[in-house]
Structure 1
């Protein structure tokens, strides 16, 4: 007998074109979960696929029968219904929860004549003292119930991550993410936008799919996986997709039970629980549904999402061994003993975390570390194409490519959503004068779209007596954002909101605006947790609050009764003093946690952003101030700042101010004037900034275009590290620059694959320094050209040791026009014979 899809396909094929259109029209109008855009250009097969994906095969057939009868296609409806009943009787219709479990009929499974993959290897010990067969059947029932529950919870996700926002089917909008078998190469405590700007995607990283994390490979399986990734990059969505694929029978069917336990909910459980009691509370209505856990290897999986949100201590040092799944203890002890494999030793464990919190779990308890990098360039385009028309997607991609800052941020899926929300309506207009080109402009425009949506949604004939105005809500959310940002908190509780005048019970937190940028997590206890959907939104609102509280009388009056006093006493200072204080505070931060806040704060002073602010806050009186003092102060800081990362952020601040300092450097670059000037420290830093944000230099950097000297190599190390091909030939270089180049080769986040140093006066001493870098385990250099570098026989010993190094990736080496001598070339020959040598071309 045919499957449900076959039956639906054959039935709809009997309709003519007009009748099919009518069927699709009825489908969209009767069932809100399928949108008109999904079905508009769908053929019969697409329509069937959409229905089965949304409703499951059983429900899809029932809905089709109903619609056919509504269209007076009674004979066709009756034929479909009869064939479907016959197929069910013979056991050939697939149950979505069992897809992939077995190719044999469901009846066979019920009779115990075949093995369910999830039960193979499971303990023969009965769940409740019954027979082994009864135990397997009971576990099968538990698995089905759990799959149905998790499928309902995971099949839709909130667009914008809001508690009351618009939900879409995950399978309809899911875009693959770049996940790699590698830990972050950056400092894990750095600000996450800073990490994104300095570490993108590297060829040496091994891509891996999330649904393959726990597959058996060569007879082995990773039992404990830690997945890291910055906020908003897609860790939780990856978890939901993993669970949904399991619940729908598509992947990992050898796992019988999956229990997702997010830390933000576990934080709220203060009393002691047993592990079994905890699972009953979360997943089952009564204890009888899960009397015990199966003991087979890898049959049970626990997913702990959001380690960075954990608010109780995880103690891995003390000997607190705990093995009783039915014994009550603390959340901390349950989790640590699961990870230590004292509790349910056979279980699979998946933990997700932002990088800064990943060290809470010692590495010796983890089998594999993976990292979610977000969208690569191709996946960005896929996202925009999947969530809009090809024309709109093309316009958005072309626009964000003009701004390196915006394009880098689009590695974060949440920022892609913000960009789509803002740019889709703006780019459709004939005049694009107000289309944002900076981060501050993008977030200000985003807030404006939320205000417009709120106005449209909550425009009553007569305003409600207790209705909160948009600007009042913005200020209160801003105060919350600022206070919690200073403390380093990303999640908040009811009392934190109430301290800022936000009353959750009256719904002011979810006033239209907040359904898009603020989320509420339901938990098992009475306490709920709240957060902004992304750290950057919290930083923007914090900056907006500081900006308004320092300039707007209405904002000051709102909090006057509470005797407001900002940190650093910002409210008492002039605008320049406010900016100066914020710049100093940001530079003092070791991890750069105020970097983006500072960019937003300065960007809000720009006239184009202030015109939008006046729309957001009616009656706001703003005068555009001359920012020359602030820019001069930033330039002075750039002159003295030694940290490349902090200097880069200061230049981003200058860009947000739309100052011509960066433009001057870009003009000088294009005219070639820089090669003739004596550059100041600030100009060197500006040159580094301009080259780092250039797409061209990320692929190829040519030193000749800028300055031919050892100093230039030292000054531009960050640019050389960030390019794939560094062409430094004929630049009057000496051995002095080779120390800097060696440190680039040894850097863990260097992208350099080709280095041309031909026609420079390096000598053997320079090659010796380079060799130290070439033997580093971090070095990924494949092509090295040293033609005409005044080398002698002495360098051959260094290069031979490189060829014999197990760390060397060199496959092409050019030593032409050097005085090497026959005897020393013999040393190179020995290196070439070494099994570690990967050389393909030697000149």
Structure 2
């Protein structure tokens, strides 16, 4: 606090320091207000006037306004109080409010811990039988938590690329970055107290298990959790509330035992932790960045306004809040209020093995099963995600009765998982479906699977994950004992009635059932999707499952075990369609990755050979590729002989290891685009190795890849060996005139075009180094070159998300007014400006609109 001169009026000091006081006191205004009342500087009416203001900063301003009418003595007392350490003011406030109830407060605190312990002591697996308990303490395996968060430009099925990232993270993460659950709110982190923590992670990675671990430890009175109370809420439950309520009622819905002491709990909010689990499942997740605040626990409002106020510190400002979410929804969280970002990185290899030991309860058998998984890349990749580690263990437990080979695809795993779960839930019933293998039993079983599939399919198409018992597709499952195997149930209670609400345990399970329904019934296949356009990834995994189910091996498995038959005409139609779509995508150079995965799910090499495009252009740009992605690319290209016209790996996060893995494919490329990847010297060396032996490669793009003179020197030496490369695009790097000099003897033969705009070139560089016509260091009036470049850039911008669009704009909007005088540039940037305007009109996020408007202003110059 800034000290005032003794000769100055305290009222004057308050007026002069008003802005500073608002900044300094917003975090402790409530406790300060109580002290002002206790010292009779303020009346209770004054306090009420302050408390009715929305938000802590507004309250500070109101206090300062009231003091202006109270006189010099009141201002003097206020400055003295506000200069005290916050702990003293809070202590005074606590003594006034909580001391008389301390005995009862502690009793309720003890009871609440007992309740949380009871609620969290069992770990529920997807096929847990009724009444069966798996003790949390016996099955919990440590998760790896690290500071930081994943990029926001991640598609819905981020789990498909997670495994390989996890391998890399395991190798690179320093030990000191790992976080124990008890350290999430550690005051030692950063320069300010940690009050709001955002925990992100892909589907099934263990977000809810982390929450259960914290509740379990707190209920077990572990000293390392320093809170008096933890309030746990799930967004699935909050979705059931569709009318105004208040925070008090939200807490009491499942914690009635707190009713008598809830006022004191709220008053002592610096000792309160509120956990909000599953933000990505919240039906109002797009609207939490509210500007209408709730400031009192008893104030009625819409649920989204209550939670938005809680996240932004307007409601219970001293409370700690932990929010969990998939990365796909993170950009809808008011990030400015988050003090710490934490990423759940799943299991390490040792923890996967530990999970096997816990699951199988037999060390020798667990070791054998772990060896099976370690030999299967797909299964091992999935095992780094805890939920799917469980699925794989479930399959392995039953695999001797299923098929002779290990799963090779995602669909293989889910088909076997489906059969495993049904066997697990039916084998103890001597008179039911599979034990007798009676026609009636099989017929019943197939009917139930189809009904589940119909529900999954219809709701998936509507982007819905919650299903009410009043829905006809849910009602059709009434009385079926197998429903609980695949659907979680929640009960919503409203005055006068209750209703059951269902959801699949994982979105991926819903997508799998939806694909089963579409593949094995008369329902027509979804319309073909070979055209370009923005792809949200909403149906990517559904389409992969659909392809896998419409394959002979999985169709036979489903028929043999579940009595599900397929229509051969539909299988043939699908196979012809995927062949045709792949041919069109290759000809157009359109994005092809998900189609390659669909082909991979078929596991039929003859399909790849049947694809006969006029040109073989493979575009997998702007996706962070995993090993599974590279496997799908190789599965398509390896059987096909001859040249690859184009391979576009722009913005894929390609590594040296990945380049080595696909090196035989690189040798067949005529054009290779590797821009927007951080290419280190090892990666550059792989590219150089290809250039030294390839008789095919004529075009190479390495723009915005952090390349300097040393890397360019390696590439230029490699180009001299075969002298086949005719165009080198390396815009936006760190190359200087010295680096360009290494290309001087290669231009104009073989290098007819070198594009080096936006590099570290200055007007002071020696003129001869950059004067050759083959080397372009600035925009010019070469219409053919730049119009093609502009068309390529614009095409990428058109199909990019807003986040990705901003990234591209940062690169290509570094233009001067002089450049815009060139005709092609004027046309291109005008087109780009129109795209930005269109995105702004349809954008609902203020922060993103601001970023886009910045580029709109640049291009309006």
Q: Same fold judged by TM-score > 0.5?
A: yes
Once the 2 structures are TM-superposed, how far is the Cα of residue 236 of structure 1 from its aligned partner?
0.8
Cα gap change, 1:275/1:618 in structure 2, threshold over 3 Å: closer, same or farther?
closer
* Residues 90-109 of structure 1 aligned to structure 2 (within 5 Å): none
Aligned to 1:543: 515
**SS class of match (1:298):** helix
Return the alpha-carbon distance in structure 2 between the equivalents of residues 158 and 307 of structure 1. Answer: 21
Deviation at 1:591, TM superposition (A): 1.9
1:380-414 per-residue CA deviation (whole Å, 9 max, x = no partner) reads: 33322332244444444444455544443333222
Structure 1, 252-261 or 318-327: larger mean CA deviation: 318-327
Aligned to 1:633: 580
Query: Superposition RMSD on alpha carbons, in Å?
Result: 5.1
> Cα offset for 1:267?
2.0
TM superposition shift of 1:377:
3.9
Aligned residue number for residue 170 of structure 1: 136
Q: Are 1:494 and 2:504 matched, yes or no? A: no
Whole-angstrom CA distance in 2 between matches of 1:722 and 1:474: 53
Distance 2:411 2:291 in 1: 50
Match of 1:760 among 712, 715, 718: 718
Please say if residues 700 and 725 of structure 1, whose CA atoms lie closer than 8 Å, have aligned partners that are also in contact: no
* Aligned counterparts of 2:517 and 2:558: Cα–Cα separation in 1: 12
* CA drift at 1:315: 4.8
Match of 2:387 in 1: 414
Counterpart secondary structure, 2:297: coil
Give the aligned partner of residue 80 of structure 2. Answer: none
Q: Kindly tell me: are residues 480 and 667 of structure 1, through their superposed partners in 2, closer, same or farther at Cα, counting changes over 3 Å?
A: closer
1:151-170 counterparts in 2 under 5 A? 151-160=117-126, 164=130, 166-170=132-136
Verify the 8 A CA contact 1:281 1:524 in the aligned structure 2: no
User: In structure 1, what is the Cα distance between the partners aligned to 2:653 and 2:96?
Assistant: 66
Distance 2:217 2:462 in 1: 38
> Residue 530 of structure 2 contacts residue 581 of structure 2 at CA under 8 Å; is this kept in 1?
no
For residues 333 and 516 of structure 1, what CA distance do their matches in structure 2 show?
35
Q: Are residues 219 and 522 of structure 1, via their aligned partners in 2, closer, same or farther at CA, if it must alter by over 3 Å?
A: farther
Whether 2:272 is the aligned partner of 1:325: answer: no
Alpha-carbon spacing, 1:714–1:359, altered in 2? closer, same or farther (3 Å): closer
Deviation per residue, 1:657-684 (Å, 9 max, x gap): 11216998999999x9999942355xx5
Structure 1 pair 800–352 and aligned structure 2 pair: CA distance change class (3 A): same
Residue 162 (structure 2) pairs with residue 191 (structure 1): no
Structure 2 CA distance for partners of 1:524 and 1:270, relative to 1, 3 Å: same
Return the offset for 1:415: 1.6
Q: 2:413 is matched with which residue?
A: 442
Equivalent residues in 2 for 1:59-208, closer than 5 Å:
123-124=90-91, 133-160=99-126, 164=130, 166-185=132-151, 187-196=153-162, 199-200=165-166, 201-202=168-169, 203=172, 206-208=177-179
What does residue 183 of structure 2 align with?
Answer: 212
CA distance in 2 between partners of 1:358 and 1:158 (Å) = 27
Task: Describe how 1:1-40 pairs up with structure 2 within 5 A.
Answer: none
Matches within 5 A, 1:629-668: 629-640=576-587, 642=589, 647-660=592-605
Distance in 2 (alpha carbons) for counterparts of 1:207 and 1:310: 29
Under a length normalisation based on structure 2, what TM-score does the superposition of the two structures give? Answer: 0.61
Distance 1:495 1:756 in 2: 68
Work out whether 1:740 is the aligned partner of 2:713: no
Contact 1:668 1:674 in 2 (8 A): no
Cα distance between partner residues in 1 of 2:227 and 2:638: 65
Residue 727 of structure 1 pairs with residue 674 of structure 2:
no
1:420: how far off?
0.9
3-state SS in 1 of match to 2:313: coil
Partners of 1:693 and 1:385 in 2: how far apart? 35
Change in Cα spacing, 1:304 to 1:524, as seen in structure 2 (3 Å) is farther
Q: Could you say which residue in structure 2 is the equivalent of 1:477? A: 452
Distance 1:144 1:537, change over 3 A: same
Quote the residue 1:245 is aligned against: 217
Give the match's secondary structure for 2:643. coil
How many Å separate the matches in 2 of 1:272 and 1:667? 50
Q: Distance in 2 between matches of 1:248 and 1:350?
A: 20
Alignment partners' CA distance in 2, 1:369 and 1:520: 31
CA contact (8 A) 2:278 2:326 kept: yes
C-alpha distance in structure 2 between counterparts of 1:273 and 1:628, whole Å = 53
Equivalent residue of 1:635, what SS? helix
Give the deviation of 1:303 after TM superposition: 0.9
Taking a change above 3 Å as real, the CA distance of residues 277 and 321 of structure 1, as seen in their structure-2 partners, is: same
Structure 2 residue 377 is matched with structure 1 residue 426? no
**1:233 maps to what in 2?**
205
Secondary structure, aligned partner of 1:321:
coil
Q: Return closer, same or farther for 1:123/1:143 CA change in 2, 3 Å cut-off.
A: farther
Partner residue in 1 for 2:424: 453
Map Cα deviations across residues 85-104 of structure 1 (whole Å, 9 max, x no partner): xxxxxxxxxxxxxxxxxxxx
Deviation at 1:590, TM superposition (A): 1.0
Q: Is the 8 A contact 2:197 2:340 kept in 1?
A: yes
- Deviations 1:288-321 (CA, angstroms, capped at 9, x unpaired): 2434325457311111111122234775566423
Question: Cα gap change, 1:420/1:274 in structure 2, threshold over 3 Å: closer, same or farther?
Answer: same
In structure 1, runs of 5+ residues without a counterpart are 1-119, 551-565, 571-577, 747-752, 776-785, 803-818, 820-843
TM-score (norm. length: structure 1)? 0.62
Tell me the distance in 2 between the aligned counterparts of 1:492 and 1:518. Answer: 10
Distance 1:603 1:710 in 2: 30
What secondary structure is seen at the aligned counterpart in 2 of 1:311? Answer: coil
Q: State the 1:520 CA deviation.
A: 1.4
Q: Cα gap change, 1:499/1:706 in structure 2, threshold over 3 Å: closer, same or farther? A: closer
1:224-271 per-position Cα deviation (integer Å, ceiling 9, x unaligned):
112222222211111111221222233543211110111111222345
Q: Alignment length, in residue pairs?
A: 620
* Counterpart-to-counterpart distance in 1, 2:200 and 2:760: 37
Aligned mates of 1:585, 1:634 — CA distance in 2: 6
The offset of 1:481, in angstroms, is 0.5
Q: Identify the residue that residue 284 of structure 1 maps to in structure 2.
A: 256
Matched, 1:339 2:307: no
Distance change >3 Å, CA 189–CA 717, structure 1 → 2 = closer
2:483 to 514, 517, 531: 514
Shift of 1:642: 4.1
Change (3 A) 1:188 1:710: closer
- Cα deviation for residue 533 of structure 1 reads 1.3
Deviation digits for residues 734-769 of structure 1, max 9, x if unmatched?
9x99983343449xxxxxx99974732499x99x98
- Structure 1 residues 343-354: aligned runs within 5 Å: 343-354=315-326
Deviation readout 1:346-377 (Å, 9 max, x if unpaired): 00111112222223322112222222233344
The answer to whether the 8 A contact 1:190-1:591 is kept is yes
Residue by residue over 1:407-459, the C-alpha shift from the partner in whole angstroms, topping out at 9 and shown as x without a partner, is: 433332222111111122325x7x96254322222222222223323432344
Per-residue CA distance 1:3-60 (angstroms, 9 max, x = gap): xxxxxxxxxxxxxxxxxxxxxxxxxxxxxxxxxxxxxxxxxxxxxxxxxxxxxxxxxx
Q: Deviations over 1:181-212 (max 9, x none)?
A: 22323623443344437754443795433332
Structure 1 residues 801 and 442, CA, compared in 2 at 3 Å: closer, same or farther?
A: same
Match of 1:57 in 2: none
Answer whether contact 2:676 2:705 (CA < 8 A) is retained. Answer: yes
Provide Cα deviations, 1:536-582, integer angstroms capped at 9, x if missing partner.
211111111111212xxxxxxxxxxxxxxx5xxx1xxxxxxx3xx45
The residue number in structure 1 matching 2:195 is 223
Query: 1:125 and 1:281, CA in 2 relative to 1: closer, same or farther beyond 3 A?
Result: farther
CA contact (8 A) 1:162 1:520 kept: no
Corresponding residue SS for 1:221: coil
* C-alpha distance in 1 between matches for 2:223 and 2:698: 53
